[in-house]
Copies of this chain bind each other. A is one copy, B any other.
Amino acid sequence: MTYQLYYWSGIPGRGEFVRLALEEAGAPYLDIAQTKGGDEKLVTLMKASRVQHPSFAPPFLKAGSLLIGQTANILLYLGERHGLAPKADAGRLWVHQLQLTIADLVAEVHDAHHPIAGSLYYEDQAAEAAGRTKHLRDERLPKYLGYFDGVLQRGGSGWLAGKRLTYADLSLFQTMEGLRYAFPKAMRRLETRYRQLAPLTNRVAGRPRISAYLASDRRQPFNTQGIFRHYPELDA
């Protein structure tokens, strides 16, 4: 079975969390965003009345007869099918809990540059964005990164959950890379405080399949259209 991943073209966005899992699993997939008319295909499928399980927003994954939406839910599915999460309840739920906490962080990062409305340009809410991003840098990022740092310390294996890589590790890698792009100054400071995060990020980047993926043209750079955006005035 070849998976079909639906996500907006032109940004890594939330689709990237799914791509990383598919790449690490070595699972064959078609990235619809990289095909001609990808965004139109996405919108068509999202609105088609014949679709039994429509998604509120991308990404969504076509897996045979299944159509699965919500990033963390797609990862729950891929984790079970491809050994990217433990099978037993305790580990399976713990990995999902970590993923949902990463999702909360990612949503907060998005809203830092769009605190008033996703439908307005950043430039139309730049003053409010400055206020919200200051709180993100000073309060929320230390709280989140301190939490994941503590989880890594507690576990002691170098991975977030158990002794093997899980989809939560892949997602934390992507989040760290996004934060470094968006807030290079703040992250230099935070990474000297939370020292478990860089080694985890390096371990993920060093996985053979992830390493090959990152060097390929399938990997998209961050940009100022996505979730993680670098606006120099928002970094400090």
In whole angstroms, how far apart are the Cα atoms of A92 and B66 in the complex? Answer: 11
Known contacts A116-B115, A119-B135; A66/B89 CB under 8 A: yes
Q: How far is the CB of A130 from chain B (nearest CB, A)?
A: 10
A54 within 8 A of B: yes
User: In the complex, are the beta carbons of A93 and B115 less than 8 A apart?
Assistant: no
Is A93 a contact partner of B117 (Cβ separation < 8 A)? Answer: no
Cβ-based interface call for A97 (8 A): yes
Q: How many copies of this chain are found per oligomer?
A: 2
Q: Residues of B contacting A111 with CB < 8 Å?
A: 111, 115
Q: For residue A12, give the distance in angstroms from its CB to the closest CB of chain B.
A: 19
A127-171 toward B: CB 8 Å interface, digit per residue (1/0)? 010011001000100011001001100100000000000000000
In the complex, A56 Cα to B147 Cα: how many Å?
Answer: 7
> Is A58 part of the contact surface with B, judged by Cβ < 8 Å?
no
Cβ–Cβ contact A139 & B151, under 8 A: no
- Does A55 touch B at the CB level, under 8 Å? yes
